Chain A
Amino acid sequence: MSRRASSLRRAISKPEFSIFLIFVAMLIVTALLQKNFFETKSVVRNINAFAPIILVTMGQAVVIISGGIDLSAGTAVSLITCVLTTVMKKADPVSGVWALLAALAVALMMGVINGIGIGYLRIPPVIVTFATSFMWLGSALFLRPTPGGEAVDWFYVFYNVGSMQGVSEGLKAFTAIFPPALFLILIGCALWYLLSRMRIGRYIYAVGSNSDSAYESGIDTARVQTAACMINSVFLFLAALFFVGQSQSGDARLGDPLTLRAIAAAVVGGIALTGGRGSVYFALVGALILSLVNKIIFFANISYAYQTLVGGVIVIVAIAASQAYTLYNRRIIAGDGVTLS
């Protein structure tokens, strides 16, 4: 009995608990503001609206846990959409397959470049990824100076099966409840679930928490950091698939607003910017919280300028609150000054 009580206290003292509470609170507020919030249609619409930020946030979380940060995430998504829509020809369904492969290769390549900069050249991650974000942007503008391009029809499979031809009614009905975006997110979760059970998953935490200790334990820290960047690439790739499925076009500036929002969402979800701490799944919850906040601001019916302003303030408040909460609990548990050099 007392054991259960103490494990309950442990659960409450975890930052995850506060994140969960905030999420529930946000759900309640949103549901009060939007009468049909829990209707299937509106749930599906919300999943579609939130999917890109969720995927980018999960990728960002992996990089931050490994001790890095990715300021190039948004432009990377843009570049992937440009690659996809450049390789594809609407008339030729097979070109879609080539586009997928080419885009995945480009995505992984971007991860490798970031990883080399961070891990092997030991340039601070902020600098590396800020610089590479311009490389991605430049490349994207080269491929697609203005939004456009074309996509094969079956790319709707990543957004809305209902608008496709030659698909059984049953499948259409199914995806009207469980939209493709949900599956993209589930693919992301499954990927991380598998990775976190392998060496690399453990090592990403170890390197992010204390790279010297990890090195002394015989871990190739540069390789782990590169791998983290490449895992992030896969999440960005999934986000880009959604975008192209949705708009059937590529856009070099499409991902710009995603970068900072994803970092904020990861932190709201309990990912420590210092690395080594946090859960990728809760980063997903963080992305949900941030998206709901935007919705609430929208419902509050304030002008767009204020929306942006309030959005920024809320991000800072949320990050400060979650850090204060973590700090408070760590002090009580760890007796404060227990630090490792």
Chain B
Amino acid sequence: MSERTNTVKVLEARGVKKNFGGVVALSNGNLECEQGRITGLLGANGSGKSTISKIIAGVYRPDAGEIRLHGKPVHYRNPNEARQDGIAMVYQNLSLVADLTVWQNIVLGGEDSRGPFLDNRSAKERARQIVDQLLPGLDIRKTIYELAPGQMQIVEIAKAIFAQPKLLILDEPTAALEKAQVKSLFDTMRKLVAGGVAIVFTSHRLWEVLEICDDVTIFRNGENVGNIDFARDGKDAAKIVSHITGEEMKARARKRRQIAQGEPIMRIRNLRYGELLKDVSFELRKGEILGVGGLAGQGQRELLLALAGSYPGSTGDVEVAGRAVRLTRPSTAIRNSLLLVPGNREQEGLFLKHSLFTNIVFPKLGLSRQPLFTPRNRYAEECRTIVSTLSIRTSGLDAPVRTLSGGNQQKVVVGKWLTFETNVLLLADPAKGVDVGAKRDLYDYILRQVHEGRMSVILYASDNEELVDYCDRLLIMYEGEIVATLEGSEINEDAIVAASMRVSRSAHEASS
């Protein structure tokens, strides 16, 4: 793939600038992409990757700078114009319409007509062909809201491919995918590249970038700080990470694993919720980090939501610190110090339009005894402490949370619980879409809290690496049941995969 003789530059972006209400998202964005090559776009959250991608795809208009497609300067006013020029984008937060079916979404905006009417037969046919490559067996007649997040992501990718782009921008397409799905995505990407498409690929997982990309462009603080051509400069992971974080790579902060001996702080027996949770039973010990793993969408998220009181219809016996608790409302869960950090931060964890201050103080106002007048100064002080402890990057406490980058938003979701007496922290994929540096800050903080004996943690992560690095004990879920428990040295990626796929059915004894 490193034939560098007659290369064709598909995309050249130079000196692109973009501000969002005073926050500089992009100060000097440069990006090049050649025909038949995959360019990795790397950088921490808030470094400007998504912004430059959306500018190229016509969603935003740049404040300054130049974008050339096949050498010609272009100024797109909307995504449709970019699409006409052969630019398709896979959006990080997906551009799917929940109430339409899979195939309707794939052809959306590019429908063929026969006379005045839509040509649905050929649309279905073409949609099926693309889906079959990416995820054989997905029913294209299903409605999007029926799908699991990973399947939605694949539909989003199929939609971009359907447009037959010359330039395909993939903004974190793999965050919601399982390993096998990532592999088939890579196969498809290789086929597209062989057919002359140029691809820009964004991911936080380094191994993916090393495997699939021909070269990488690294962004930090709104400008690009490095270009590495793998054929010329070699694949040096440490160098890439140092470009991303701006510091030398530290060793992976692997937790000292301990078989927690402490007394149980929480006991769950026969937790049920519809088809999603079937008789889940386990104990959580004091000072323990209990992982929940398995394939995507086997009830892990639902387990944490049930514990956080989000499912009034759930049944089961729950004991927290020796007292029986009925977890039918979020407020009871919070009063019993079961605090949730939801995975879908934009919808479940934040008031996007409100300030950082409001977001952090809000749970306090609602749930603990308050003086008649809110002691704003004292809370602001606490807030500043939280901001510095978690190193949240913001222009101030009054900045709307919407203006923060994804990783910093996630820190706010964790931060709002920090002033509470925490018994159990429920982390539902807290590092999804969070960059290497921010992820480390987040887990460092949590580990410190756990070591000081201030909390126990139940952690669901879609990335097995996180589970391996931080868990003392690991429950594997399959179709709403706990099918295996891994402890101590048993916890490694191979074992997790084996247990998730139920390679050995004998691992069934585990749960209670």
Contacts and interface: CB of A to CB of B under 8 A. Distances in A.
B97 A276 contact: yes
Nearest to B346: A341
Given A198-B117, A202-B118, A340-B96, 15 more contacts: A206-B97, A212-B95, A213-B95, A217-B79, A217-B97, A218-B80, A219-B80, A219-B108, A220-B78, A276-B97, A335-B148, A338-B146, A338-B149, A341-B93, A341-B347
A217 B95 contact: yes
Interface string A104-117: 00000000000000
A197 interface: yes
Interface string A192-224: 001001110110011011101111111110000
B302 A335 contact: yes
B116 A205 contact: no
Interface in B219-255: none
Contacts of A213: 94-97
13 contacts: A194-B117, A198-B118, A199-B111, A199-B118, A213-B94, A214-B97, A214-B108, A217-B79, A217-B108, A218-B109, A276-B99, A340-B98, A341-B94
Interface residues of B, number: 46
Interface in A248-279: 276-277
Interface string B78-112: 11100100000101011111111000100011110
A339 interface: yes
Interface centre among A219, A335, A341 (most CB of B within 10 A): A335
A172 to B, nearest CB: 36
B275 interface: yes
A332 B275 contact: yes
Which one of B108, B147, B347 has the highest number of Cβ atoms from chain A below 10 Å of its Cβ? B108
A197 B346 contact: no
Contacts of A220: 78, 80
A89 interface: no
Contacts of A305: none
Contacts, number: 109
A20 B301 CA distance: 35
A215 B311 contact: no
A106 to B, nearest CB: 26
B305 A337 contact: yes
A331 interface: yes
A70 to B, nearest CB: 20
Contacts of B118: 197-199, 201-202
Interface string B473-502: 000000000000000000000000000000
A199 B100 contact: no
A201 to B, nearest CB: 8
Nearest to B82: A218
B95 A216 contact: yes
Contacts of B344: 337, 339, 341
Contact of A216 (B79, B100, B275, B302): B79
B340 to A, nearest CB: 12
Scoring B57, B93, B145, B297 by chain A CB atoms within 10 A of each residue's CB, the highest score goes to B145
Contacts of A340: 94, 96, 98, 144-145, 152
A212 B89 CA distance: 14
Most B CB contacts (10 A, CB to CB) among A208, A210, A214 go to A210
B96 A202 contact: no
A339 B93 CA distance: 11
A208 B145 CA distance: 15
A216 B53 CA distance: 13
Interface of B: 57, 59, 78-80, 83, 89, 91, 93-100, 104, 108-111, 113, 116-118, 144-149, 152, 159, 274-276, 297, 301-302, 305, 310-311, 344, 346-348
Nearest to B480: A335
A201 B109 CA distance: 12
A340 to B, nearest CB: 5
B347 A335 contact: no
A244 to B, nearest CB: 31
A223 to B, nearest CB: 11
A220 B110 CA distance: 12
A215 B108 contact: no
Contact of B148 (A201, A276, A338, A341): A338
Given A206-B97, A332-B275, A217 B109 contact: yes
Contacts of A121: none
B98 A209 contact: yes
A341 to B, nearest CB: 5
A323 to B, nearest CB: 15
A331 B146 CA distance: 9
A279 to B, nearest CB: 11
A206 B98 CA distance: 8
A330 interface: yes
A339 B275 contact: no
A36 to B, nearest CB: 42
Nearest to A211: B97
B100 A202 contact: yes
A210 B104 CA distance: 14
Contacts of A334: 145-146
Contacts of B94: 213, 340-341
Given A215-B79, A216-B91, A338-B148, A332 B117 contact: no
Contacts of A338: 145-149, 152
B59 to A, nearest CB: 6
A1 interface: no
A202 B108 CA distance: 8
Interface in A291-341: 330-341
B96 A331 contact: no
Interface centre among B80, B152, B311 (most CB of A within 10 A): B80
A333 B311 CA distance: 15
A274 to B, nearest CB: 10
A337 B460 CA distance: 15
Contact of B96 (A210, A277, A337): A210
A219 B99 contact: no
A196 to B, nearest CB: 9
Nearest to B301: A337
A67 B479 CA distance: 36
Given A199-B113, A215-B79, A216-B79, A205 B97 contact: yes
